[in-house]
Structure 1
């Protein structure tokens, strides 16, 4: 079935709106190892764990929204959902890398 482009845009917007039900967690502030205290690092470790758990829930939600839309979902919707998934994974990787770098630097400075 061929839909006019304005109809596809409306459908994609409707499907994309359903993904708004997926709550995107706020970023975690990673302290600089040079200025952080042990308490700061322990609190950040807990924040990073909670962030990762929340991001996993977000990814699950995005994947469920995509699956619920089915194979007949507009390509634009599928592309939006895949983009959201990939951006979230990239952000998680960046947070993990930043945390690991600062944690390692902190441990090296405080041994």
Structure 2
């Protein structure tokens, strides 16, 4: 169960605790080891309300040869957190989340 179940996302809690901070929810769907040598074209969803912070994070994601995907404002960060819980559950059950989540090329824009 998410510790934020029924309440604000962790990203919203951080933003509330640090007024003036530029909070972007990103990099939460992959284990830390993925970022040591990321797969080219890996889709990386991000949520945030600050246009400048989002632009900086998009650049960072692109520099990692990954693809930034705008997933909305911080009001949608809880969905990324819930998705992370789902993906982690699949990993711990011995499954491969890539077999459940469709690749970027199958998305409809």
TM-score, normalized by length of structure 2? 0.25
TM-score, normalized by length of structure 1? 0.24
More strand by percentage: 2
More helix by percentage: 1
Q: Highest relative contact order (Cα 8 Å, sep 6+), 1 or 2? A: 1
